[in-house]
Amino acid sequence: SSRRRHTRYISVTGVQTCALPIYNVSLSILAHEEATPRLVGGIGIHPAEDMDGHELGYWLTPDAWGRGYATEAAGTALTYAFGTLKMPEIVSFTSVINLRSRAVMERLGMRRDPSDDFDHPSVREGHPLRPHVLYRLKASGYGGTAFKR
C-alpha cells in the first residue's frame, strides 16, 4: 500500500500592525503535514501590560504540542519584530509550572532574571498558576531564524 507523504512546514499568516509606536502583530499558525492545512495555533506580539515593551504570546491545540510549531512560529514572529519593526526587546511570560512554554522561550534565546518573576494579578492567591516567570530577548541578542531546536 502506498501512503501519501507530505512535507512538514508551517505558515504564519495574517500579519497586522498598528501605527508607530504601538505595534500589534497577530499571526495564525497553520500546519501543513496533511493533505489539507489546519489551524493549530496562534501567536502575537502586542504591548505588554504593566511594563514597557512588547510581549510575545502563543497558543497551540493540545494535539500540536511537542512538534516544534511554537518555536518555529515564534522564531518567525521575532524575526519580523526585530528585523521589520525594529523592536528593541520582546518579553514573554508563563506560569512557573508551564515547562513546555518555558522551554520554547529558552530555545528562542530568551533569558530569565529571577528578579523579574511575579505573581500574576489575574490568578487568585494560592493557585498553582499564579507564580510567573518572565523572559526577555533583546534584538541585539537574537540570532535570526537560526533558533535552537
What does the pLDDT average to over 27-33?
60
Assessment of whether the complete model's pTM goes beyond 0.85: no
Beta strands in 17-139 (DSSP E): 25-31, 38-47, 54-60, 89-95, 111-112, 118-119, 131-138
**Higher model confidence: residue 112 or residue 4?**
112
Q: Do the beta carbons of residue 9 and residue 32 sit within 8 Å? A: yes
Q: Is residue 83 predicted with pLDDT exceeding 80?
A: yes
Runs of H (alpha helix) within 12-143: 69-79, 99-107
Q: Is residue 3 predicted with pLDDT exceeding 50?
A: no
pLDDT at 142 (0 to 100): 86
pLDDT at 40 (0 to 100): 80
